[in-house]
Structure 1
Amino acid sequence: MSTIAERIRELREKKGLSQSEVAKLLGMNRTTYVHYETGYSKPTKKLKDLCALFNVSADYILGNDTNASNTQIENKPKDLIKLLEKEEYTLNGVLVTPEDKEKLKRIIEAAFWDAKEKNKRKK
């Protein structure tokens, strides 16, 4: 099995997600995703989405970086993952550009973690 396949499987298992859940979050069928984990095919078109889902660099998935601790693997709640992995975002009925979509995703995630931190302090 290739390093790419092993790392993708390992990252999915660390997140506690099934293959079907990951496939759904990535907007693909399960069989296609399973091919990534078995090494039958490589995630060229979905590499960026995998990186965002697992919060790792492309270099880590591709085997160019061996230190997973530098990739900031976090256990994001499934609801946050779904929100961050929406296919399209619109503002005032206008589809946002891919660049703006990435900015929105970062803002949403930062707001989520800020709120979580504030809730910890209240307890």
Structure 2
Amino acid sequence: MEKEFGAVLKRLREQKGMTINQLAEASGISNSQISRMENGIRGVPKPPTIRKLADALEVPYGELMSAAGFWDADGAAKGLREEAPAWATYKDKRDFKKMLEEDGELMFDGIPLDAEDKQRIKDVLTGLFWEAKQMNKRKKKEPGSPDSPSSS
């Protein structure tokens, strides 16, 4: 996936007639990091970095998110609608389901969101939820932390 994203990034940059240094300046991302992405040496960047690149290249954010493997062709978060990570416990899955099922009217600027917008928001929340859960689990396992088994 890293090489595919890098190839797309390089193609888009070259189509815009930009050098790596110009893209670095426009995006606020170092030229060495961009070079590593393009060459498949660096892993797929996180969505905030992808947003900076999309803005600097003046291309749709979804195009780069799809190239990075985060979104499918329809613009939905890939693999996140139904599947939970392998490490998720029953309690994690229950908590997530409860969070998504809380039934309130989703609105933006006082206007109710349509089904497509609601699904996109759920997809983003899904990714953020599982990322936060995983980070929390890592923190608890760090040696010397109050929650780690070795400090009990």
TM-score (norm 1): 0.46
* Higher normalized contact order (CA 8 Å, seq sep 6+, divided by chain length): 1
The structure having more radius of gyration, on CA atoms, is 2
Greater helix content: 1
TM-score (norm 2): 0.38
